[in-house]
Amino acid sequence: MLIQDKKIAIVGGGPGGLTLAKLLQDKGANIQVYERDLNKYARQQGATLNLHEGSGLLAIEKAGLMDQFKQHYRPGAEKFRIVDEQAHFFFDEHAEIKDASFGNEFFRPEIDRGPLRDIFIESLQPDTIVWDHQFVTMERQGAGWLLSFKNGNARYADLVVAADGANSKIRPLINTIKPVYSGLTVIEGNVYNAARHAPKLNTLTSGGKVFALGKNKSLILSAKGDGCLSFYTGTWETENWINESGIDFSNRQQVLSWFQQRFADWDPLWQELFETDEVYFVPRPMYHYPLPQQWDALDNATMIGDAAHRMPPYAGEGVNMAMLDAVELSECLCSPGFPNLQAAFAGYEKHMCQRAAEVTRITLQQMHDLHAPGAIKNLLAVFTPPAD
């Protein structure tokens, strides 16, 4: 096996990095996951995730964690409603009778990020994850790399896998391809104890999701198992709008003022999200990589997930692609069909880039369709395709 007796560093303890760690560790590999968080409780996890057949659920199955997943996923959380900017209903999956069971190719079970992360953390050998190690840089040392961290520590690895997200610090050492701004900026928010602090919208969401579309803007709500309500606004903005706007996104009143102006043609109902101090906001300009990407593989480093193929979240593919990356990379590294590590990385990267290009193309089209005239009609067409 190509990775026998190799020290493998995975930088980033998100779903992709943890999936890879589990799959390789099960093959006997020497794995360390370097994670910036102080511990697994240190940071609020984001919105719920829906896992797909052939990607996210395939990774769960390959990792031998399906029983644990079934214990922690949230039945019914995949149900959604489609409304316009005035909260008029156009589709209500809560009123639909459908086959919501494992094995159905259209079933996309939801799980909160925290529980999904915990499932993988608990499946790994003790001390696999090295907490409080925020990656700073790495430099070649012999045939491998010396990794340096913000806390002053340095660790050697024969192989490095970048799983450190959309703003990866390792990616520039692998290729110089720059991301492209999509034109859309998202404001991510999270309302704590939504039943108390956003009762009307919490009821509207009904434990699932709401897609509110209109006037070339979007607002997507997701209920979380801990009682929070996460949301994403979507608006067309200039690339530097976040800095040029002068908005302090830690100041709720400033964000509310922006929302009242930018969404002035929406029903005031939606302002409920911004009327409590029990909320946080993070602005996120949406980037993607050119289609398709291609680069020459290294013999001791590669990348998975957003580090490799960041894309907007509008097709729900981000975590699924990251977990599928982990499956495919682990298979390449453990395959007898490659003569050396560089060939294994090249085989993985070629297929990954082709797959990610197609998913990114679909995602960008869907993102555009949801922020264009006829957005609701466009989204309904995705879920109710015309009969043959």
DSSP sequence for 188-237: EEEESSHHHHSHHHHHHHTTSEEEEEETTEEEEEEE-TTS-EEEEEEEE-
Reference 54, options 359, 350, 294; nearest CA is: 359
Asked if 225 contacts 74 with a C-beta cutoff of 8 angstroms, the reply is yes
- pLDDT by residue for the chain (388 residues), tens only, comes to 899 999 999 999 999 999 999 999 999 999 999 999 988 877 655 678 989 999 999 999 999 999 999 999 999 888 999 999 999 999 999 887 666 677 777 778 999 999 999 999 999 999 999 999 999 999 999 999 999 999 999 999 999 999 999 999 999 999 999 999 999 999 999 999 999 999 999 999 999 999 999 999 999 999 999 999 999 999 999 999 999 999 999 999 999 999 999 999 999 999 999 999 999 999 999 999 998 899 999 999 999 999 999 989 887 788 999 999 999 999 999 999 999 999 999 999 999 999 999 999 999 999 999 999 999 999 999 876 555 5
Domain boundaries, the chain: 7-74+109-178+290-370, 180-288
Which residues does the annotation place in the binding site for NADPH?
A: 43
Question: Domain 180-288 belongs to what architecture?
Answer: 2-Layer Sandwich (3.30)
Is 284 strand, coil or helix? strand
Cis peptide leading into residue 179 (ω within 30°)? no
Which residues does the annotation place in the binding site?
A: 43, 113, 306
* Confidence (pTM): 0.94
Query: Identical fold at 7-74+109-178+290-370 and 180-288?
Result: no
Question: What is the structure's pLDDT at 96?
Answer: 74
Question: What is the structure's pLDDT at 40?
Answer: 81
Which residues does the annotation place in the binding site for FAD?
A: 113, 306
Asked if 224 contacts 48 with a C-beta cutoff of 8 angstroms, the reply is yes
CATH of domain 7-74+109-178+290-370: 3.50.50.60
Asked if 124 contacts 20 with a C-beta cutoff of 8 angstroms, the reply is no
